[in-house]
Every structure is written in structure tokens, then in C-alpha cells.
């Protein structure tokens, strides 16, 4: 195995923009990283402030209360029943995404290839590199859905897993998960379906790969965006019982566990839908407002199928997404992510995260009109 040479952290590349934007009289408005700005539900916060159970080790696979809440939520949302060996928790989902190839390769060392959408969350490729696997991007269509037919037979034969992400980060596209499930069954390749944005699906009801079946698939869910709990670090994975049991036991041996008080609070969050609906409307209204503001700059975007990002085309007068992002930083103090942070096919786009309070989102419109 080659020694690991670590790339620069993607968002560190925006540090210079932040310095420039900092000199705007109104200060920086940061729409780059998708970190929620809104508060988690009150009862969840209250549960954390009265935290108990800190003396003992928490369950690695999840307390029975949390597993029940997650399973009920899956059932309510997707009409899928989960048995106890089909679900387990993780410490937020980024660590799961980054470690999954490594853990799966220990299960099947004959496979060394991680397939992931060419335009996607950078940790899919990073997880492959950490595992010493080949990170092979799957071409995307013009609507940014994956083109499964483009996968080379030689890569398919070596595939440890295929990642899918719907609603997708950064482009907000909705994948045909039934088709991806059938592809998985036909080719015998495990599919990991990252469904962390499903609560904010606008173009349809939320979809999960589990609605097609559980064999050789994992669905991965997070409370970070759904309930504004990115700071709590809690998510879960579910699906094929053989794979869930393997990962759950491995993760227990490795001491990967979510703190007990966080597990209690997470159960309360999964039991409630009201705050999620309110958050969904909040994002939808911010996305509409951002669409209007950016269109004044000649920067057009379609309303996303889901998620909390606007995926907007760079106006023609700019030479690149970096050129445009630099201009936004200096002219209106706004930081966005150049699209090629997520893959080459994003090079003429920017990603705008709707993660600032409403008054800041309205202020952008004012800044654009008075620039």
C-alpha cells in the first residue's frame, strides 16, 4: 500500500476569500460550509443541560431508546420496518463515510475500489484514500445524477462499494434510488446511500434506498442537518443485517461510541417532526431569496430537488468559479464554495449554503443592489 499523502482540507482553500470579505463594512456573510445556524429544538437542548449517565460507557451500537426512535422514524418516513440487527448508530456520519471503505476492505480484501459520484461530498474520495483503495469517480449526467452505465467493467469487478447521495450535495439532485438498488443487485456491489439531507426534499416525498430492499445496501442518516445538531455528532446506519452486524461489532471493538447524554437527546429529536418541517420551510424560503439575489448578478440557479444549497451557474464574464467567488468576497463580503471543490464537472458553478439567519440572507440582496 502507498503511503498516504494528505491533500489540503477543501475549505481551507477559501481562507484568502475570508480575509478579503472581512474588510466589507458589514462584515463577512459566510455561505460556504453547510453548518446549520438555526437552533435545535428546546426539549433536546434541555435534555443535554440535565445530562446524566456520564460515569458509565455508552452503548456503541446505540441505546435501546435511541434505536427505537430511529427505527420508528424510518418507519414513519419510508414505511420500512427495521429489525434490531439492521440498525446501529455512528458518531455523526462524516466519520462513517470516511471509515466505511477501510472497514469493508478488512471484510473483503479482494476488492480495492470505491465508486462515488464525480460531483459529490469530498469525503467519499477521502475515505477511499484512507483505506488505501482506488477512488474511482462515476460520471454524472447533465442533471448531476450518476451515470451508472459509464462504469467500466474493470472497475465494477474490483468495486468494494458505490456511494450515492440523494438529495445530493452540492447540486441538490434527486437520484433514482430504485434504479440504483437494482444495479446493486444485478452487479453484486454494496451500495452506501447517504441520505443525510432527506428531511429537506422539496420535489417529492423523502426517499430511501431501503424502500427497494435491504440486501447489500446501507442507508446512512444524520441529525446534523435534520435537527440542527451538527455539534452533537450523531447519526445512524441501517440496512443489510449481515453488514450492519459486522460494522457494529467492529465499531464496538474500536471504541467508537456516541456520548450517552447525546444518545438521549438524539432520541427526542427523532421523535419530533414539527421542528423539521419548520426548518424545511426556513431553508426553502432562504433558497428562494438567494435565487432572486444571485439572479440580479446574472447568476442563475434552479430551485434544488432537496438539500440546503443553491447550485448556481457562474456568469459568463467570469473566467472561473474561483474568479466569481473572489469577486463576491471583495464586492459584497459573501463567501461561497467554488463548484470544483466537489468535482471537475462543478467548475462552472458555485455552491451557496442557506445557512445564515434570514436577516443576513435579506442583507445580501441589499448589498448586491448597492454594490
Ligand X SMILES: Cc1ncc(COP(=O)(O)O)c(C=O)c1O
* Interface residue list for ligand X (CB under 6 A): 34, 92-94, 97, 121, 165, 169, 194, 196, 222, 224, 230, 235
Strands (E), the chain: 29-30, 87-90, 113-117, 134-138, 159-165, 191-194, 217-222, 235-239, 309-313, 334-335, 337-338, 349-353
**Residue 169 or 327 having the CB closest to ligand X:** 169
Q: Is the Cβ–Cβ distance between 364 and 290 less than 8 Å?
A: yes
**Residue 307 or 333 having the CB closest to ligand X:** 307
Shortest separation between residue 96's beta carbon and ligand X, angstroms: 8
Q: Which three cell numbers stand for residue 67?
A: 434505536
Q: Which three cell numbers stand for residue 254?
A: 474500536
Closest CA to 149 of 103, 109, 115: 115
**Residue 120 or 327 having the CB closest to ligand X:** 120
Shortest separation between residue 137's beta carbon and ligand X, angstroms: 15
* Torsion from C-alpha of 307, 127, 178, 180, nearest 10 degrees: 130
Q: Which three cell numbers stand for residue 3?
A: 503511503
- Whether a cis peptide bond, with omega within 30° of 0, leads into 33 is no
Shortest separation between residue 83's beta carbon and ligand X, angstroms: 24
Shortest separation between residue 222's beta carbon and ligand X, angstroms: 3
**Residue 97 or 290 having the CB closest to ligand X:** 97
**Residue 235 or 260 having the CB closest to ligand X:** 235
Residue 46 Cα distances to 37, 42, 227, 262, 274, angstroms: 18, 6, 14, 11, 17
Please give the Cα distance from 269 to 335 (Å, whole number): 31
Shortest separation between residue 231's beta carbon and ligand X, angstroms: 9
Question: Helix, strand, or coil here: 336?
Answer: coil
The alpha carbon dihedral of 54, 56, 58, 60 has a sign of positive
**Residue 67 or 266 having the CB closest to ligand X:** 266
Shortest separation between residue 35's beta carbon and ligand X, angstroms: 8
Shortest separation between residue 316's beta carbon and ligand X, angstroms: 29
**Residue 193 or 327 having the CB closest to ligand X:** 193
Please give the Cα distance from 66 to 327 (Å, whole number): 46
Amino acid at each position: 500500500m502507498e503511503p498516504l499523502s494528505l491533500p489540503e482540507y477543501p475549505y481551507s482553500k477559501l481562507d484568502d476569500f475570508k480575509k478579503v470579505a472581512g474588510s466589507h463594512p458589514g462584515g463577512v456573510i459566510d455561505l460556504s460550509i453547510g453548518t446549520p445556524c438555526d437552533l435545535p429544538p428546546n426539549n433536546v437542548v434541555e435534555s443535554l443541560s440535565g445530562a446524566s449517565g456520564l460515569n458509565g460507557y455508552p452503548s456503541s451500537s446505540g441505546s435501546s431508546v435511541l434505536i427505537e426512535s430511529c427505527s420508528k422514524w424510518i418507519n414513519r418516513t419510508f414505511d420500512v420496518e427495521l429489525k434490531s440487527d439492521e440498525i446501529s448508530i455512528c458518531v455523526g456520519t462524516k466519520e462513517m463515510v470516511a471509515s466505511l471503505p477501510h472497514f469493508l476492505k478488512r471484510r473483503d480484501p479482494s476488492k480495492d475500489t470505491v465508486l462515488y459520484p464525480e460531483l459529490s461530498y469530498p469525503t467519499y474520495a477521502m475515505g477511499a484514500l484512507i483505506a488505501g483503495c482506488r477512488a474511482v469517480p462515476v460520471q454524472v449526467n447533465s442533471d448531476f445524477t450518476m451515470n451508472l452505465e459509464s462504469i467500466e467493467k474493470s472497475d465494477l469487478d474490483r468495486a468494494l462499494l458505490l456511494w450515492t447521495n440523494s438529495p445530493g450535495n452540492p447540486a441538490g439532485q434527486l437520484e433514482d434510488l430504485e434504479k440504483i438498488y437494482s444495479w446493486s443487485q444485478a452487479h453484486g456491489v454494496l451500495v452506501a446511500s447517504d441520505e443525510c439531507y432527506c428531511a429537506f426534499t422539496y420535489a417529492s416525498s423523502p426517499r430511501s434506498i431501503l424502500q427497494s430492499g435491504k440486501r447489500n445496501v446501507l442507508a446512512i442518516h444524520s441529525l446534523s442537518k435534520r435537527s440542527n445538531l451538527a455539534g452533537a455528532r450523531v447519526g445512524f446506519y441501517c440496512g443489510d443485517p449481515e453488514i450492519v452486524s459486522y460494522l457494529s461489532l467492529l465499531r464496538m471493538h474500536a471504541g467508537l461510541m456516541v456520548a450517552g447524554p447525546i444518545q438521549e437527546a438524539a432520541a427526542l429529536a427523532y421523535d419530533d417532526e414539527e421542528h423539521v418541517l419548520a426548518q424545511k420551510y426556513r431553508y426553502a424560503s432562504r433558497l428562494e431569496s438567494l435565487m432572486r439575489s444571485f439572479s440580479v448578478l446574472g447568476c442563475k440557479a434552479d430551485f434544488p430537488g432537496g438539500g440546503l444549497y443553491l447550485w448556481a451557474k457562474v456568469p459568463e464574464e467570469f473566467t472561473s468559479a474561483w474568479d466569481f467567488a473572489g469577486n463576491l468576497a471583495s464586492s459584497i463580503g459573501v463567501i461561497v464554495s467554488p463548484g470544483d471543490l466537489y468535482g471537475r464537472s462543478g467548475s462552472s458553478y458555485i455552491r451557496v449554503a442557506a445557512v445564515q439567519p434570514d436577516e443576513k440572507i435579506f442583507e445580501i440582496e441589499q448589498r448586491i443592489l448597492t454594490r
